[in-house]
Structure 1
Amino acid sequence: MRKGIMVLAALALAGCGAVEAGRQATTAPTIAPVERPSVTGRLASAVGLRKEQPAMRWGEDNTEWTEAALAALDSEGVTLLSTVPSDVMQFCPGYAAQTRENRKAFWAGLVSAVAHHEGASQGSPRGLLRLSRPQTQEGACGTGEDGAGNLRCAVRIMAREVTRDGAIAGGAEVQGGRSWRGLARSWMPLRSQEKRAEIASWTRRQSYCR
């Protein structure tokens, strides 16, 4: 009799354990399904990560020129990025305190502003910055039909002339005429006081110079 009672008690306890286990299994938290982003959402994220290009004067249709100028500054214009020209305040008041990226943007913007005054036709690399034959030979440049090549050449010339003279543009009266410094050695718009002032006014207004 006593043995039978013990067997019944054991069965009852086992039943309680099964009920409790079932209760826990029923009330256990479930993992919510992961929502996959929609195609629209993925595209929006990609656009958000795309880097906005700095303002240039050759127009939005010539973004490849902007990319070429910035790339050239990383290779041919490294010395420019570490140089603070004596007259930089005229062109870019915040230059000395700017990041490397903003300094690159300034020099690329300056190139685009000079090209604007040189009358480079929109969308065509021919005549971009109007490099003369001696300049292209001295700068080891390619043909005038290659916009990216013209810009690499221009940056190479800029780096040499600005670091040599310690100035972006300027001149001084000397016996027999006027001696030009910096980029005014190579580009006529920077020899004109009116055009030089207009170029400087444009670069000063850009976000990378504030």
Structure 2
Amino acid sequence: MQSDRRIVTTGACIIVLALGAGCARERPAEPAQNPPAVEHATTQVKAVKEPKCSLAWKAHGHTTQSEAKTFANACLTAEDGAVDVRMTPGQVRSKLATLLPPDHALPAMVPADIDTFCPGYAAASPAGRAHFWQELMTAMVSPESGYKTKTSYWEKGQDQYSLGLLQLSYNDKYSYRDASIPGCEFTTEAQVTDPDVNLQCAVKIMTKVVKKANVIGGDQSRLTRGGANYWSTLRMTSDARPPIIAATRSIPVCQQN
């Protein structure tokens, strides 16, 4: 999957619940149908380390998002033993504090649109800047997955599932293989639902895309630059973006004196 994987999603995320459902892109309503049997997960598998659930659903032929999610839920558990827990914002924030210390590459960056997300960032210490990035990614988890580690979404334009807290895909292991070690080295799709692995990879992706574009949430010339290249929740057109910005601007380090 290319680094602009989110460009193929149909619009920006529009549902924002503090502990709600997964990231909902703008898409037409789909008729409810009976979900397919999980047997499809085994009939199309070529090797144990391939994204078996994505391959199986692709072979089945996508029908509705509801059916795709039902299938993923059963397939990931049956084939790989996915992690299925509902975390709290505090738990996510704690994990990100470990992954994003003051000496991480992100706090050294000053994105062009940082004042939108954190007016006090430029004058902040490395620790304060790290706190901003931790808060930003914690806030993003809410619209992306509702803090549920097993959240899935079928990306029709990519023929694969986005999974976990920050809706990553198995094929990110190829798109971000040049990220510093450890990167996004998934061995199964179920591993993407592991919160530690998912957040670790998400930090790697955020670091790479922000460094490349020097923006977090795109700009008027291109809405899908920086972090918005991967996560539609950060795009200017997303209904999820204002609550994310409100969350980051509320922390002390982001408030100008």
CA distance in 2, matches of 1:171, 1:62: 28
Gaps in structure 2 of 5+ consecutive residues: 1-17, 20-85, 152-163, 177-182
1:30-49 matches, within 5 Å, as none
Q: What is the aligned partner in structure 1 of residue 243 from structure 2? A: 198
Q: What is the aligned partner in structure 2 of residue 132 from structure 1? A: 169
Provide the secondary structure at the position in 2 that maps to 1:97.
Answer: coil
Which stretch has the larger CA shift, 112-121 or 125-134?
Answer: 125-134
Residue-pair matches, total: 148
Higher relative contact order (CA 8 A, sep 6+): 2
Residue 218 of structure 2 corresponds to residue 170 of structure 1 = yes
Cα pair distance change 1:95/1:179, threshold 3 Å: closer
Q: What is the aligned partner in structure 2 of residue 68 from structure 1? A: 95
Per the normalisation by structure 2, the TM-score is 0.51
Provide the secondary structure at the position in 2 that maps to 1:170.
Answer: coil
Cα pair distance change 1:61/1:194, threshold 3 Å: closer
CA distance in 2, matches of 1:93, 1:179: 21
Q: Deviations over 1:87-133 (max 9, x none)?
A: 000000000111212111110111011111113344x3652110123
Provide the secondary structure at the position in 2 that maps to 1:203.
Answer: helix
Q: Percent of counterpart pairs with the same letter?
A: 32
Cα pair distance change 1:60/1:96, threshold 3 Å: farther
Give 1 or 2: higher helix fraction: 1
RMSD (Å), alpha carbons: 2.6
Per the normalisation by structure 1, the TM-score is 0.61
1:1-210 matches, within 5 Å, as 61=88, 63-74=90-101, 78-122=104-148, 124=149, 127-139=164-176, 140-141=183-184, 142=186, 143-173=191-221, 180-191=224-235, 192-210=237-255
CA distance in 2, matches of 1:84, 1:78: 13
CA distance in 2, matches of 1:189, 1:91: 13
